Amino acid sequence: MFKPLICTALVLASGLAFAQDGGADREARRAEWQAKAEARFAEADKDRDGRLDRIEAQAFGDRLARNFDRIDANRDGELERSELADARRHAAQGKRHQRMRAMHAYQRGLFKGMDDDGNGAISRAELGDKAPRLAENFAVIDANANGEISADELKAHRQKMRAEHRAQRTQREG
Ligand SMILES: [Ca+2]
Ligand SMILES: [Ca+2]
Ligand SMILES: [Ca+2]
Ligand SMILES: [Ca+2]
């Protein structure tokens, strides 16, 4: 009972150290990137009022000009730094969600492709040699031991693998 607790504590501690290191790196990159964006902003802001109007936005870049109305949240015809920061955050979030959706669709497709009789679960026979790693771990993934891997069981397994992977990486790098 104690050992797993200690392990967890170690993983947490090294994870924290890793997050700090990785965080510092990310922070430096972000700062550099922000300095560049700030320089471009200052260059485009011809009248130096700290905001970009439509003509100034055009100088900043086509993409900004195209998305002007969407970014101009308070609709005053000028882009403030905070409006630009919000737009950047949304764009990053959108990209992340898109990647996640694509991955889930891909995994659903794989699952359906293996589920020959379409009962929503994959038997050993259906799995065959389509996915050696799944076949290897069949008994582990089949949590309720009914001889079939359901989508939920596979999802739980993937989540567990990801968590273990993260912990291993943290231990290696921490
Ligand atoms: Ca301006
Ligand atoms: Ca505005
Ligand atoms: Ca099936
Ligand atoms: Ca099962």
CATH of 115-174, one of 1.10.287, 1.20.120, 1.20.1440, 1.10.238: 1.10.238
Confidence (pLDDT) at 172: 84
Q: Pairing relation of β-strands 121-123 and 148-150?
A: antiparallel
Range 113-121 average pLDDT: 95
Q: Pairing relation of β-strands 121-123 and 79-80?
A: unpaired
Range 118-142 average pLDDT: 93
Confidence (pLDDT) at 47: 96
Ligand number nearest CA of 81 is: 2
Q: Distance, CA 117 to ligand 3 centroid (Å)?
A: 5
The model's confidence at residue 3, banded by pLDDT at 50, 70 and 90, is very low
Q: How far is CA 112 from CA 5, 55, 86, 133, in A?
A: 39, 52, 39, 17
Ligand number nearest CA of 142 is: 4
CATH 3.40.50.2000 fits 30-99, yes or no: no
pLDDT at 23 over 80: no
Ligand number nearest CA of 77 is: 2
Q: Distance, CA 90 to ligand 1 centroid (Å)?
A: 23
User: Domain coordinates of the chain in residue numbers?
Assistant: 30-99, 115-174
Ligand number nearest CA of 126 is: 3
Range 39-55 average pLDDT: 94
Q: Distance, CA 52 to ligand 2 centroid (Å)?
A: 9
